[in-house]
Amino acid sequence: MVEKVLIANRGEIALRVARACRELGIACVAVYSTADADSAVVRFADEAVHIGPPAAARSYLHIPSIIGAALKTGADAIHPGYGFLSEDPYFAEICAEHGITFIGPPASVMEKMGNKATARQAMKEAGLPLLPGTIEPVATADEAQYVADDIGYPVIIKAAAGGGGRGMSVVNRREDLRRAYQMTRATAQAIFKDSNVYIERYLRTARHTEIQIVCDSLGDGIHLGERDCSVQRRHQKLIEEAPSIHLTPELRAAMGSAAVKGALSVGYTGAGTMEFLLDEEGRYWFMEMNTRIQVEHPVSEMVTGIDLIKEQIRVAQGQPLTHSQDEVRLTGHAIECRINAEDPARDFAPAAGRLEEFAPPGGPWTRVDSHCRPGWMVSPYYDSLIAKLIVWAPDRGEALDRMARALSEFRVNGPGMRTTIGFHQRVFAHPVFRSGDFYTDFIDRHMAG
């Protein structure tokens, strides 16, 4: 059994994991860089270890320091959160070699599903629908041209090792293909140290619909319904909601069981997300799998009442799932807004600085997951997420009104500080967003300028 969890992350997710540990009666260890020496999770955790300077490569991404911190404190498990080392199979393997439980899937499964090309192959074998496109990486510009002409435009070129919305190019016209192919390869090499790319059809009027799953090590898996994440800017999610108003109960059950079947077919354990594209006719295609907890997991927690972080920790210890599929009930509607320290007027450029005022909203069914407080320095070294604002209501209309109310309460100020709060307020006032009848191009089409 796990007795002490080291949290190999920072920010709101580190605090979220620490809270779950506390409720489970498990000790937790925070690790921190110099920039995070007085962070919320350092204050909250039972122990804290200084692992390096602010640069992530020498702290939160530095495996020897994190393993060293676990050995120093006697932690018997590591929760990687999201980002950083959460999808690094090598890190999962190193944990296992040191007798430390990695709270996530086995390294080999993570490796297979973390690569978009091998994941597509595995899910094809499991019988999941895939968009027309390549399974094997496309090796040359000539081959890319041939493949794209065959699929038909628009196409999307994706880095096989990509993630987090990076390493993707949409190509609308035949004459743009070669340049986009070369650029995506170069970007993929620079960011992911792997220049392999593949090509698939791009659906402009599609909805980004993802299924939350959890599998235990006894071979059981369940899904917790879907999240609609269609409000994106440059493939970065800004707003997520559950359930999707575009799924019938039958379609939800079909997509959910396909997701679980796909995950179990590769021996997946832990929490994970299967991302699908959904079109207007209710057809869906597997896109990729995220082999970790996701930023937007709270919306699934709010509509199911299941604590996903606790569930991750339980199944990592070999315990069975707490719910059968029949016991998972979706109730009401939940929405999450990502509050980022970014300036929407300057193309969402990160706007770090010290928070003079940080007054999150409260009130009924209003949840704020954040590590921030007045006086906290929003560091330029890490991602710009400062808070996740989540509301729940019996139906979507009331949830929209509740979110608008909560956003109007949220006060964040400081020298140079800009946030996405005002941008979210404009989205929630937009009739197209309120209607729910929008696609992944909502921001470009309706919020430009």
Partner 1 sequence: MSEVEEHPEQHEEKLLDSLVRQARDLSKAMPGALSRVTVTAGDHQVEVEWQAPVTVAAVAGAVPATAFSPATAVTAAVPAFEPEAPIGHAVVAPLVGTFYRAAEPGATPYVNEGDVVEAGQELAIVEAMKIMNRVEADRAGRIVKILPSDGEMVEYGQELMYIEPVSSDTE
**Residues in the site for partner 1, rule: CB under 8 A?**
34-35, 37-38, 49-69, 71-72, 82-86, 94, 164, 191-192, 349-352, 377, 380-384
Cβ 172 to partner 1 shortest distance, Å: 27
Shortest Å, Cβ 48 to partner 1: 9
Told to judge if 292 belongs to the known catalytic residues of this protein, a careful annotator would answer yes
Evaluate whether 357 touches 413 at the Cβ level (below 8 Å).
yes
Instruction: Identify the active-site residue in 185, 201, 292, 338.
Output: 292
In the 8-state DSSP scheme, what is residue 245? Answer: T
Cβ distance to partner 1 smaller for residue 349 or 429: 349
Residue closer to partner 1 (CB basis): 38 or 437? 38
H or E segment at 366? strand 366-369
The pair of structure tokens assigned to 225 is 């319904």
Nearer to partner 1, 67 or 263 (CB): 67
Give whichever of 64 and 132 is closer to partner 1, judged by the CB atom: 64
Contact 240, 388 (CB under 8 A): no
| Residue with smaller CB distance to partner 1, 52 or 137 | 52
What is the nearest approach in angstroms of partner 1 to the Cβ of residue 67? 6
Tokens 């954040």 belong to which residue? 370
Omega within 30 of 0 (cis) for the link into 380: no
Helix (H) or strand (E) holding 310: helix 308-316
- In the complex, least distance from residue 414 CB atom to partner 1, rounded to whole angstroms: 12
Which of 48, 35, 40, 36 lies closest to 4, judged by CA?
A: 48
Q: Are 69 and 29 in contact (CB under 8 A)?
A: yes
Least spacing, CB of residue 72 vs partner 1, in Å = 4
Report d(CA 418, CA 306) in Å as an integer.
Answer: 34
Please give the structure tokens belonging to residue 367.
């949840």
Confirm if 83 and 383 have CB atoms less than 8 A apart. yes
Answer whether the bond into residue 320 is a cis peptide, omega within 30°.
Answer: no
Residues with catalytic roles:
292
